[in-house]
Structure 1
Amino acid sequence: MSGWTDEADIVVVGFGAAGATAAYEAAANGADTLLLEKMPFPGGLSIASAGGIRVSHQPEKALNYLRATCGGNTPDDILQAFATGMAEAPAYLQTLADRCGAEMRLIDALGNYPYPGYDALAYAEVTALPEIDGTHSYHAMSPVKNGTRLFRVLEHAAQSAGVRIETNAPVHRLVTGENGAVTGLTATIDGTARRIRARRGVILTCGGFEHAPEMQAQYFQGGPLIPGAFLGNTGDGIRMAQAVGADLWHMWHYHGPYGLKHPDPDYPFGLFLKAVPMWTPGRLDMLADLGLEGSETPQTRASTRSLAPLAWIVVDSTGRRFMDEYPPYPG
Structure 2
Amino acid sequence: MADLRITTKALPEHNRVRNRAMLLQTLFHEGPRSRADIARGSGLNKVTVSTIVGDLIDQGILVEAGHSTDVRVGKPATLVAIDDDSRSIISLDLSDALSFRGAVMNLRGQVSHQSQLSMLTERGDAAIDRAIVLAEELLEKAPAPVLGIGVGSPGMVDRAGVVRFAPHLGWFDVDLRGALAERFGVPVHVVNDANGMALAVHTFRENDGRSILIVTIQRGAGAGLIVGETLVDGVDFAAGEIGHVVVDPRRETSCLCGRSGCLDSIVAVPQIRRRLDAGEERDVVMEDAADALAAALAPIISVLGATHVVLVGPDDILDEGFATRTRTHLTDRTLPTTTTVISVDIGSDGGLLALQGPLVAVLSAELGIA
Q: TM-score, normalised by structure 2?
A: 0.23
Which one has more relative contact order, counting CA pairs under 8 Å at least 6 apart? 1
- Highest Rg: 1 or 2? 2
Q: TM-score, normalised by structure 1?
A: 0.25
